Amino acid sequence: MKNERIGFVGLGMMGLPMARNLVDDGYAVTVFDLNDVTVNLAKEFGATSEDSAATVASKSDIAITMVPDSEHVEAVIAGPNGILEGLNAGSVVIDMSTIDPEIGKKMANLIEAKGSSFIDAPVTGGVGGAEAGTLSILVGGNAEIFERALPVLNVLGGDVSHMGPVGSGHTTKIANQLIAVATLAGIAEAFVLAKKSGLDMQAFFDAVKNGAGRSWALETLGPKILEGDFTPGFMVKHMQKDLRLAGQLGADTGTALPTSTLIAQLYRSVQADGPEATSQGHQALVQAIEKLSNEQARI
């Protein structure tokens, strides 16, 4: 058994396989989530559970949060029965969610006042990366605390980068998402144009997948689009949230973000299809281009 006791708060599509990887690597992992189903799944693979984030923190040397948005991080850390209530002095809290960098800094101040430490460590790589332990992890925080957390992060990711002080990880993730979503928008337009121009879609994909437009999105999401597979590895609503965070950061820094602003509106078109539309995989962005073009980019 590894020396550091791990707490894990948030067992969603990403958090559950991440917690499993830690258990499989020999860590004692204590979990909390509002969803009893995922808690029971975690217990099946060897985690123990508690009934609050505070209790998880009290039994952990390193507490990890992996929840959807800024308000959820605030709630599980600083809210009633939150991590702060049970945190032991000398512990480390790692937020692996994608949130407003300013909220991360606020949480860091509260945690440091309790004699503990905080790093932000959002991830990229989707559910597949979480399951395989190959996530890219973008870390902000004190260098010494980063080194302490690194063995744990190396279990969860294949590429761990220390980006600077607290907030740097969250900021890097937001900027990363702009690259990812702009690439996806280009793929969506190219696929619909190719289809509407009469090209064989499998031949088109095979011809361009290793060319100048090669990307993770093309290799991973391209086949899904061509097959009409919109099951989520990363949901539309989560990309919408990340684009909102980018817009806030752009406003705070005086940065023009015309491309991502337009893409956010395209996702609104996808959202207009109904309540379940935003639970699709974010490759559903192509649906907005398909609507405007009256053509589906399928094989």
DSSP state of 284: G
In the three-class reduction of DSSP (H, G, I as helix; E, B as strand; rest coil), residue 191 is classed as helix
Report which of 66, 32, 26, 67 is spatially closest to residue 49, judged by C-alpha positions: 32
Is-catalytic flag, 173? yes
**Marked catalytic residue, from 105, 106, 114, 173:** 173
On whether the CB atoms of residues 167 and 173 are closer than 8 A, the answer is no
188-219 as b/e: b if 16+ CB within 10 A: bbbbbebbeeeeebeebbeebeeeeeebebbe
Residue 202 near residue 223, CB atoms below 8 Å: no
Residues acting as catalytic residues: 173
